[in-house]
Amino acid sequence: MVRGKPDLEIKIGGLVLKNPVLTASGTFGYGREFASLVDPADLGAVVVKGISLEPRSGNPPPRIVETPCGMLNAIGLENVGVEKFVSEKLPFLRENGVCVIVNILGDSVEEYGRLAEILDNAPGIHAIEVNISCPNVKQGGVAFGLDPEAARAVTAEVRKKCSLPVIIKLSPNVTDITSIARAAEDGGADGVSLINTLQGMAIDIQTRKPRLANVIGGLSGPAIRPVALRMVWQTAKAVSVPVLGVGGITTPEDALEFLIAGASAVQIGTGNFINPRATIQVIEGIEKYLIEHDMNSIHDLIGSLNG
């Protein structure tokens, strides 16, 4: 019997993605940079580099350092700002039929709301992902993502200011990530993505100086994968909205683990640096696995962890 291809479609709020493989913010630029290696329209979605109201120039170098099976980054949220994003970066994505999710960041609840409002009116954007790992400047600088009440407030504000699906990107630097996930769901999130980077540090023992100018950076890559997987599993049980799994995914096998743990989709970050075609290979690998395991749909796999 000739079977059709398995169904890879997933939904986040009202948004239908053709497959469950996305790029993670900050690791695929604005989609264009990889275009000669990967057709961004073949991906479930491209999550673009975090955008703020005003352009940001970022931290002084050194900004990255390699660590065992991982890397630390302290880029400092360098970005072109929302105005330039909409006028210079978005048209390419729109004209090429790319599913675009815009990652946003701000210093205050109002700033997130303002960004949501501006992006709601820009054609070619399919969803918003809210990076809540940023300091809440008006409230003593504690990151929104560390406090359930602040996370709920940001989510509700973004929800109110736009009609697009809203995904909240969670910080792993908390005691209980499920409480933040539930707060985001309460605030009206259509999905949650996790994890953002884990805070880390490295020292040059010869000079006794920190290896990053910013001293502290965010750890990503295969080193964080088991932590991310555990948090995704816990969160998928705690909320009813879709969970997007992020953290150390570079191969189809890695992605399958997250889907089985309950993620509806995965994002590939540092994996793009290691192998620029990782996203495409993961899509192909998931499809192959479904066929080999006689599954017609990705939904047969999602959350199918055996006790």
Partner 1 sequence: MKQIDAEILKIEPVAKDIFRLTLKAPDIAEAAAPGQFVMIRPVSGFDPLLPRPFSLHDWSEKQGTIVILFRVVGKGTGILAQSRHGRKLQVVGPLGKGFDITSAESVCLVGGGIGIAPLLGLAKRLPEADAYNEIAVLLGGASGEELAPLAECLDIPGLAVRLATDDGTLGHHGVVTDLMENHMTRDRDWLVLSCGPMPMLKAVAHLCRKNGWPCQVSLESVMACGMGVCLGCAVKSPAGNGHEGYLHVCKDGPVFWESDVAW
Ligand X SMILES: Cc1cc2nc3c(=O)[nH]c(=O)nc-3n(C[C@H](O)[C@H](O)[C@H](O)COP(=O)(O)O)c2cc1C
User: Looking at the annotation, which residues are catalytic?
Assistant: 134
Q: Which of residues 25, 171, 235, 279 is near ligand X by CB under 6 A?
A: 25
Q: Which of residues 20, 22, 30, 49 is near ligand X by CB under 6 A?
A: 49
Per the CB < 8 A criterion, the answer to whether 151 and 144 are in contact is yes
- The residues of the shown chain that bind partner 1, judged by CB under 8 A, are 26-29, 33-34, 36-37, 49, 55, 57-58, 60-66, 68-71, 73, 75, 78, 221-222, 250, 270, 272-277
Binds 232: which of partner 1, ligand X, none (CB < 5-8 Å by kind): none
- Binding range to ligand X, per CB under 6 A, among 9-17, 21-29, 113-121, 181-189: 21-29
Binding-site size for ligand X (CB under 6 A) equals 25
Site string for ligand X, 143-172 (x = CB under 6 A): --------------------------x---
> 113 vs 221, which CB is nearer to ligand X?
221
Q: How far is the CB of 126 from partner 1 (least distance, A)?
A: 20
Q: How far is the CB of 291 from ligand X (least distance, A)?
A: 26
| List of residues 6+ apart from 121 with CB closer than 8 A | none
Quickly count helices (H) and strands (E) in the chain.
9, 16
> 75 vs 122, which CB is nearer to partner 1?
75
Q: What CA–CA distance (Å, rounded) separates 125 from 282? A: 24
Q: How far is the CB of 15 from ligand X (least distance, A)?
A: 18
Q: What CA–CA distance (Å, rounded) separates 141 from 130? A: 17
Element (DSSP H or E) covering residue 251: none
> 92 vs 273, which CB is nearer to partner 1?
273
Q: What CA–CA distance (Å, rounded) separates 232 from 222? A: 15
Per the CB < 8 A criterion, the answer to whether 175 and 148 are in contact is no
Q: Is 202 exposed, middle or buried (0-12, 13-18, 19+ CB in 10 A)?
A: middle
Task: List the structure tokens of 195.
Answer: 């994890």
> 84 vs 138, which CB is nearer to partner 1?
84
Binds 29: which of partner 1, ligand X, none (CB < 5-8 Å by kind): partner 1
Per the CB < 8 A criterion, the answer to whether 187 and 151 are in contact is yes
Q: What CA–CA distance (Å, rounded) separates 174 from 244? A: 18
Q: Which amino acid is at 175?
A: T
Per the CB < 8 A criterion, the answer to whether 286 and 21 are in contact is yes
Of all residues in the shown chain, the one whose CB is closest to ligand X is 26
Helix (H, G, I), strand (E, B) or coil at 227: helix
Site string for ligand X, 61-80 (x = CB under 6 A): ------------x-x-x---
Binding site for ligand X (CB under 6 A): 24-27, 49-50, 73, 75, 77, 103, 131, 169, 196-197, 220-221, 224, 246-249, 268-271
